[in-house]
Amino acid sequence: MKSFTFLASAFLLFFTSLLILGVVSGSEYDVVASTTIEAPQVVVLKELIDFNNYYKWCPNILKSEYNPETQFRESLYVMDKRPVSIHEKVQVILSENIILFTEHNNKARGYIQNITNAIHLKENSDGTTEVSWEMSYTLKPMLSKILNIFAVKPALNRMLVENLNGLKKNIER
């Protein structure tokens, strides 16, 4: 009986520690997905810098309006089956084959904040293009570590895979 009480106490202490860590510390996380597209890098890049038309192939963007003068894009995303408006700074770094989207509104809209998307391109010797999509984000402190492991990270990973599959289908058709 004493060993059961000890184990139960140890488990309770461990679980309480995890909860406290999650409640008091917001943390930054990353999700990455990649695919190979049967097209030269220039073709993939052309599609990716058409910032107003992401909704045509990206199932998680309902609408996107890019202003080339300010280099900002207003995008209406679907997150947790809800529409979420995000004001993003867009940067194309051709020397590194990277396209960056950095959130600039940080409106209170749930537990995901400070979203940055980085799309990396790499031309392969066989004429195909490797596309890697990385999303970085922070979670509000409330249970962030546990919530990220079991809900947020898997959902965002599915979203990135869907986005890349849409891009691939759109280019390879």
Q: What is the pLDDT of residues 109-138, one digit of tens each?
A: 567 788 899 999 999 999 999 999 999 988
Long-range contacts of 93-98 (CB under 8 A, 24+ apart): 97/41, 97/45, 97/121, 97/122
**Domain-located, residue 7:** no
Question: What local confidence, expressed as pLDDT, does residue 72 receive?
Answer: 96
**Domain-located, residue 14:** no
**Domain-located, residue 63:** yes
Question: What local confidence, expressed as pLDDT, does residue 81 receive?
Answer: 80
**Domain-located, residue 31:** yes
Question: What local confidence, expressed as pLDDT, does residue 27 receive?
Answer: 78
Beta-carbon contacts of residue 97 (< 8 Å; ≥ 6 apart) = 41, 45, 120, 121, 122
Distance between CA 111 and CA 136 in Å, rounded? 14
Helices (H), 25-127: 41-48
**Low-confidence residues of the chain, pLDDT below 70?**
1-4, 6-26, 106-110, 141-144
CATH code at position 113: 3.30.530.20
- If one counts the domains in the chain, the total is 1
Distance between CA 90 and CA 71 in Å, rounded? 5
Distance between CA 60 and CA 23 in Å, rounded? 29
**Domain-located, residue 9:** no
Residue count of the chain: 173
Domain of 108 in residue numbering reads as 26-172
Question: What local confidence, expressed as pLDDT, does residue 106 receive?
Answer: 59
